[in-house]
Amino acid sequence: MQNTLAMRFFDRLSISRTRLSDGVLVIGASLLIAASAQIAIPLPFSPVPITGQTFAILLVGFVLGARLGAWSVTLYIFEGAIGLPFFAGGGAGAGWLLGPTGGYLAGFLVAAFLVGYLAEKGFDRKSATTLLAFAAGQAVIYLFGCAWLSTFVGWPQAVTAGAIPFLVGDAIKALLAAGALPLAWKAFDRL
């Protein structure tokens, strides 16, 4: 968690980081991801619902950094796989990892790490670079998700049902992040 918003928060409050505090952050972030997955709107033409999950995944990466962001997503996936109703719309069980949306779950892990790494390099300080990092993370999610979904429905249908319907919503999420994260850094710098 090098030079991330969470680290700045700890520094400003003069709280030393420990494995316990990192663990609490990871658990809290996994629960945030699980809560955001409950915001699910099924699409009749796709096995992939619209969720708040992708925004939470990328936000966790931005705020916690590569290592803790990836651990948060790993814990989230584990929690859902062991039967907690944490996947989209309350889904649960290991079968979700092998189902049509399993690739998105794998992509979440890689995207959180990537976005966290970029945040550690300062990509979350300016709107343009935040937007670029968010787009890179989202592209990873689409790549993993559509690649796996294509094994069920074929590649053209995977893109049509697994990426295209989400582009506008993800662009809005990216713009929100591009506005919010640099503002958060400015607020911490003023403290």
49 — phi, psi (to 5°)? Answer: -85, 165
Q: Would you say 185 and 71 are in contact if contact means Cβ atoms under 8 Å apart?
A: no
Element (H, E) at 48: strand 46-51
Q: Does the structure show a pLDDT above 70 at 191?
A: no
Q: Bridge-partner residues for 178, per DSSP? A: none
Residue 100 structure tokens? 């049509």
What is the fold, at CATH topology level, of the domain defined by 16-190? Arp2/3 complex 21 kDa subunit ARPC3 (1.10.1760)
Q: Bridge-partner residues for 87, per DSSP? A: 91
Task: For residue 187, name the pLDDT band (cuts at 50, 70, 90).
Answer: confident
- Digit-coded pLDDT (tens) for 128-185: 999 999 999 999 999 999 999 999 999 999 999 999 999 999 999 999 999 999 998 8
**Could you give the CA distance from residue 100 to residue 158 in angstroms, rounded to a whole number?**
10
Q: Does the structure show a pLDDT above 70 at 40?
A: yes
**Could you give the CA distance from residue 191 to residue 157 in angstroms, rounded to a whole number?**
50
How far is CA 11 from each of CA 3, 15, 134, 189, rounded to the nearest angstrom? 10, 6, 25, 11
**Could you give the CA distance from residue 106 to residue 87 in angstroms, rounded to a whole number?**
13
Question: How much is the pTM?
Answer: 0.94
Q: Would you say 148 and 33 are in contact if contact means Cβ atoms under 8 Å apart?
A: no
Q: Where are the domains of the chain?
A: 16-190
Three-class DSSP category at 188: helix
Q: Mean pLDDT, the chain, as a whole number?
A: 94
In this prediction, what percent of the chain has a pLDDT beyond 90? Answer: 84
**Could you give the CA distance from residue 191 to residue 176 in angstroms, rounded to a whole number?**
23
The pLDDT of 35-50, averaged and rounded, is 94
According to DSSP H, which parts of 38-166 are helical?
A: 53-64, 66-81, 95-98, 102-120, 127-153, 155-162
